[in-house]
Structure 1
Amino acid sequence: MATFVRISCGLALVAGAAVIPAGGGAAAPDDGPRKLRPASRTTVGKAPTSRLARTDRSLLDRSDGERIPVLVKLDYDAVASYAGGLPGLPATSPAVTGARLRSGDAERAYEQYLAERERSFTTALAARVPQARVGQRLRTVYGGVALTLPANQVKQLLAVEGVVAVQRDELREPLTDASSSFIGADVLQSGAAANGAPTSQAGKGVIVGVLDTGAWPEHPSFADQGVLAAPPRRPTARHAAATSATTR
């Protein structure tokens, strides 16, 4: 990561001339060199996606030793977002290359680079937070790793070289009862036009993403409320043959 330091100074530099006080007037007596003190510090990641990651502040308040799962954003771009810039490593992001990720030469070379960065991180992690256990490497989309550690050691984890943010690793369930209004489908379901367009064109140009979380048969949504008739019997081979013969 890079650290930028802002320094307050009472002198202004004049190109090609002398140094004069910022407020103008006669030059102050030369009392010798003065020590500069930083007024503020700002630390940012080198990788573009590192500037987007934020640590979950609630994790910093934990003082207990419960082992918790977290995601650690490291200071590099994932394969899907790497836009180039490293010597000998061309861009892999489809937004730059215009091609889908297909495990080509550029992707494999960049993943080797990420593996080296991960090894450096795990070595530093073992020295600083020995109770942490690294799990999945998240190279394609996230650009970091998943691990578990005692909750009261998140601050130590943040101090490890290369760590940009520590975030909760938690299961988030989709709220299907809010989906219609969220995507504006309730407007279409009411028969109203969207943005003044006729309902026959509603949805045109919309990109739909589906989160398939699977079906849980025990969910109350699938419960038998006793209001439906029994499902029809599954036809046997003999019944299917007879039906086929009568329809010829």
Structure 2
Amino acid sequence: MKLATYNVNGVNGRLEVLLRWLEEAGPDVVCLQELKAPQEKFPVKAIEAAGYGAVWQGQKSWNGVAILAKGQEPHLTRKGLSGEPDDEHSRYIEAIVDGIVIGGLYLPNGNPYPGPKFDYKLRWFTRLHDYAAELLDLEVPVVLAGDYNVMPTDIDVYKPERWTNDALFRIEVREAFRKIVEQGWTDALRHLHPDERIYTFWDYFRNAYARDAGLRIDHFLLSSEAAARLSKAEVDKHVRGWDHSSDHAPSG
């Protein structure tokens, strides 16, 4: 099974790019983030015409997550994480596809640091940590895929010294990610490419894509049962170079 994650940075504004990539890559399951569309504006008909069933949680102007499955409807199991009842952000969705639990997530950016947005990001990480432990206890194949908004190590950012006080690279955030991984998750791309500089995001400014001045902030974490099936992990970097593309590239 080919799994992918893609922060589309506006699903309707970049629908042509998404559909082009789906046709080219043909993933079996896709986690989408940053839909930037309310629930009723998700382009479900276009997605279905491309051969995919979908579940989604939209949000006007911001956030929003979805799971697509080729040739079938994902079985929705969860929307949102517990632990903060007043949190209305659309950042987590979960479904079962072919016996695999797929959690699609979009962690908060957290900038500026310090401040309430950074504090919210750390709380969200704590909530994810607690729920991730519950998922591991199921002892079934589980994948947590999406935009984590964290560069785990120096090799995941083009100029680490410039990012010391950014919320995507603060030591507290990297530590929160590490604590989740150490529960027993496998970072798919880093597991297969331990020393390679591979990025998933290039800013629109300062010619970042052409200079390959990127960040690795989109990740796949696999339970041991899912990791046993891992054979390949890569980034469709060329998609970032398409006209009107997201600032992220699909990975899987």
* Rg larger for: 1
Q: TM-score, normalised by structure 1?
A: 0.27
TM-score by length of 2: 0.26
Give the structure with the higher percent strand.
2
